[in-house]
Amino acid sequence: MKITINGIYMDARDGATVLEAAIENGVFIPHLCFMSGREPQFAGCRMCYVEVEGIEKPVLSCKTPVAEGMSVKTRSEKVLEIVKTAFDLIMSAHPVNCEGCPGKNDCMLLAIAKEMKFGLKNKKYVPMVKEIPIDASHPEIAFDASRCVLCGKCVYVCNEVEGAGILDFINRGIDTRIGAFGIKPLGATKCVACGGCVKVCPVKAFYYK
């Protein structure tokens, strides 16, 4: 089918979401938690908003299916305001010491900041960076929970793809984080270092030692 994104006509496959159509056509829409093939999408990062002609309010592109003749805007004033707010909130709880980060060459936050021309240092919200010790207990994989953006990709892969059942969301509210069941260190679990968590982490909070 044919749709337009930012005034440009492009093909979109039947059954695709707006975000998938954009990715497949090389159009950048900020996102952290989207995973191709996952149903339903987690939609937790709240960064992939777009405006669709005929719909009053911006919608999440990862949850919105394409339709013939659909007209989408990814950089409208409304969209930029929402996306910048979501980005600033994430960065208020994310350490900005990129040089020493194992994900400095493969970080979606840096890619979003560069593409959208966002500053990394949040000036709007009270800093909420938590000092959480790096879990280096596993012989092959380490986890820096202070860098985690709670996208949930690692939990999904660990449980639904690999069937390992090791990772989950733990705690609640502002204390929510990713960890092993029973709040064990990774090295005390049956993790076999399949690498699924490392592969999907958009900020490399999980990384090879």
Tens digits of residue pLDDT in 110-157 = 999 999 999 998 778 888 888 899 999 999 999 999 999 999 999 999
Residues of the chain with CATH 3.30.70.20: 130-209
CB atoms within 10 A of CB 68: 9
Is the pLDDT assigned to residue 205 strictly greater than 90?
yes
Give the phi and the psi of residue 160 in degrees, each rounded to 5.
Answer: -95, -30
The CA distance from 9 to 40, in Å, is 28
CATH code that applies to domain 130-209: 3.30.70.20
CA distance 173 to 165: 22
Q: What is the pLDDT of residues 7-44, one digit of tens each?
A: 999 999 999 999 999 999 999 999 999 999 899 999 99
Best CATH choice for the domain 1-129 from the list 3.50.50.60, 3.30.1360.170, 3.10.20.740, 3.30.300.30: 3.10.20.740
Confidence of residue 107 (pLDDT cuts 50, 70, 90): very high
- Cα first-last separation, the chain: 45
pLDDT of residue 124: 83
Where do the CATH 3.10.20.740 domains begin and end in the chain?
1-129
Task: Give pLDDT, residue 127.
Answer: 86
Tokens 């953006």 belong to residue? 149
Question: Is the model's pLDDT at 181 over the cut of 90?
Answer: no
pLDDT of 79 above 90: yes
The Cα–Cα gap between 208 and 199 comes to: 10
Q: What is the mean pLDDT of the chain?
A: 95
Q: What is the pLDDT of residue 40?
A: 94
47-60 tens-digit pLDDT: 999 999 999 999 99
| C-alpha pair distances (Å), 146 with each of 34, 73, 177, 182 | 21, 34, 9, 19
Kindly provide the residue ranges of all beta strands, DSSP E only, lying in 69-140, ordered along the sequence. 71-73
Task: Please state the pTM of the whole predicted model.
Answer: 0.93
Token representation of residue 144:
């820096």
What SS3 class is residue 72?
Answer: strand
Q: Which of 171, 172, 155 is nearest to 163 (CA)?
A: 155
Strand partners, 170: 177
